[in-house]
Amino acid sequence: MKDTANFVHWFRSAAPYIHGFRGKTFVIAFGGELVADGGFVQLAHDVNLLNSLGVRLVLVHGVRPQVEARLTENGTAIRYVSGLRVTDDAALACVKEAAGTVRVEIEALLSLGIANTPMAGADIRVASGNFVTAKPIGVIDGVDLLHTGEVRKIDAAAIRRRLDQHDIVLLSPIGYSPTGEIFNLSLEDVATQAATELAADKLIFLMDTEGVPDRGRAIHTALTVSEARQILDKGKKLPEDVTYYLPCAVAACTRGVKRAHLISRKRDGALLSELFTREGVGTMITPTPLETLRPATIDDVGGILGLIEPLEREGILVRRSRELLEMEIDRFIVLESDGVVAGCAALYPFPEEQAAELACLAVSQEFRGRGFGDLLLAAAEKNGKKAGFRRLFVLTTRTEHWFEERGFVDSSPDRLPQRKQALYNYKRRSKVLEKSL
């Protein structure tokens, strides 16, 4: 019974994403480890699901462990210069083999259609081909990297045609030159260029770690491009995968990709959790902050009501009807986070006294602890000052301390503006606090 309720609740909460993702382009990149470890079976299920929801998918796979295995088998030494493999003829032969094998394995798993599995009824067409043109990297630190290359061009138009037909496009870390040469590329280069050229909505990297580490064992759940840059510039030691993928996420987001996600390949269902929940499970990188502070509009009324209702029930806020809120919506500012009203505050002017009442300052439960209240208060103070008010006052029954910690001082009902005094509810016995601006 409880499970059913959870399921229904979860499914409904995913509706906006299901809706929003249809027709969108996601580039999903993962190392060859995922295929080597058998983890791609799980991913195939999720890819199938996304495909059936109308997401346009480009998969980019790596081959590193497969290449390494072949090289060791042959007894060939692996040479690296500044983190890049030198691909000599023997290594290139391994790359070709590895790429071929991995690709075939992926195609096979995407072709599953066994009844009573998540792949039942799947009818996936996988398209691959010569979509990537490459050029040699050339000489680095005096060493010729030979067949190691970088992306020169992605045939976005050709990829789009496949996506238009509902195909899943599979890219290998290999590119061809106009002279018919073959180049060994990095999967992150291919993925980033593809996402950029396609102006993808998402670029997703599956990593060995959970995300970009924050303090302790926590990870950053969301970063703007500039925050991500700061982390990279600090030069603190980061997990290897993060050092590869975070710069790519930044590059993609500065070149038109809307969001990049760094998530764990090991956690079952990470991709779906990241995509279909608001908070996700990994690190999301966006070009600009997810939060915006702005004046409320009539469209926010529903969101604000949802936000203040629990607080009204607890008696922390005075009840406001929808009608009243609609009438007074001009007084409100909202803090929006990723399309959701996360907090609000209102300013009621008393021009005769050059004062304003700060009211209805609220932050939704799920957004607590992120300093949103301070942001709203700062914005309200700024607006009040701009409007020429000298004094801000607030009536509160339960959150006195919060305001005192932010520079409000004890006041009394008789210091309220005349019109407000007339309305003061002596039964509620709210504390009056004020702050000069």
Three-state SS at 137: coil
Minimum separation from the CB atom of position 127 to ligand ARG (A): 25
Minimum separation from the CB atom of position 257 to ligand ARG (A): 12
Alpha helices, DSSP H, located in 235-321: 240-254, 270-276, 301-313
39 binds ligand ARG (CB under 6 A): no
200 binds ligand ARG (CB under 6 A): no
Minimum separation from the CB atom of position 276 to ligand ARG (A): 6
Minimum separation from the CB atom of position 286 to ligand ARG (A): 9
Residue 21 or 332 with smaller CB distance to ligand ARG? 21
Minimum separation from the CB atom of position 417 to ligand ARG (A): 43
Size of the site for ligand ARG (CB under 6 A): 13
Structure tokens of 255?
Answer: 């070149």
Q: Considering only residues 338 through 377, tell me which ones interact with ligand ARG, judged by CB under 6 A.
A: none
Residue whose structure tokens are 């609000």: 344
Residue 365 or 418 with smaller CB distance to ligand ARG? 365
Report CA 164 to chain centroid distance, whole Å.
25
Structure tokens of 136?
Answer: 């040699």
Question: Among 182, 184, 187, 98, which Cα is nearest to 148's?
Answer: 184
| Strand 80-81 versus strand 84-85 pairing type | antiparallel
Residue 79 or 278 with smaller CB distance to ligand ARG? 278
Q: Considering only residues 281 through 340, tell me which ones interact with ligand ARG, judged by CB under 6 A.
A: 282-284
CB neighbours (10 Å) of residue 243? 12
Minimum separation from the CB atom of position 224 to ligand ARG (A): 12
Residues 328/346, Cβ–Cβ less than 8 Å: yes
368-to-99, 212, 362, 371 alpha-carbon distances in Å: 47, 22, 10, 7
Residue 50 or 380 with smaller CB distance to ligand ARG? 50
Residue 109 or 275 with smaller CB distance to ligand ARG? 275
Nearest residue to ligand ARG, scored by beta-carbon proximity? 280
Residues 160 and 221: their CA atoms lie apart, in Å, by 31
Minimum separation from the CB atom of position 434 to ligand ARG (A): 38
Tell me the torsion sign for CA atoms 137, 143, 144, 145. Answer: negative
Q: Give the type of residue at 394.
A: V
Minimum separation from the CB atom of position 18 to ligand ARG (A): 11
Residues 68 and 187: their CA atoms lie apart, in Å, by 15
Backbone angles phi, psi at 394, to 5 degrees: -140, 140
Residues 380 and 109: their CA atoms lie apart, in Å, by 55
Minimum separation from the CB atom of position 28 to ligand ARG (A): 12
Residue 18 or 90 with smaller CB distance to ligand ARG? 18
Minimum separation from the CB atom of position 205 to ligand ARG (A): 12
Q: Considering only residues 114 through 153, tell me which ones interact with ligand ARG, judged by CB under 6 A.
A: none
Beta-strand runs (E) in 249-321: 259-264, 283-286, 291-295
Structure tokens of 45?
Answer: 């299920």
Residue 85 or 259 with smaller CB distance to ligand ARG? 259
| Eight-state DSSP code of residue 331 | G
Question: Among 389, 436, 434, which Cα is nearest to 413's?
Answer: 434
Minimum separation from the CB atom of position 198 to ligand ARG (A): 17
Residue 214 or 326 with smaller CB distance to ligand ARG? 214
221 binds ligand ARG (CB under 6 A): yes
Residue 201 or 300 with smaller CB distance to ligand ARG? 201
Minimum separation from the CB atom of position 279 to ligand ARG (A): 6
**Close Cβ partners of 213 (under 8 Å, ≥ 6 residues apart):** 219, 220, 238, 239, 242
Residues 171/200, Cβ–Cβ less than 8 Å: no
Residue 145 or 257 with smaller CB distance to ligand ARG? 257
- Give me the count of residues in the chain: 437
Q: Considering only residues 227 through 286, tell me which ones interact with ligand ARG, judged by CB under 6 A.
A: 259, 274-275, 277-280, 282-284
222 binds ligand ARG (CB under 6 A): yes
Structure tokens of 424?
Answer: 């003061």
17 binds ligand ARG (CB under 6 A): yes
Residues 20 and 201: their CA atoms lie apart, in Å, by 11
Residue 220 or 391 with smaller CB distance to ligand ARG? 220
Residue 185 or 257 with smaller CB distance to ligand ARG? 257
| Eight-state DSSP code of residue 366 | G
Structure tokens of 364?
Answer: 């939704």
- List contacts with ligand ARG (CB under 6 A): 17, 221-222, 259, 274-275, 277-280, 282-284
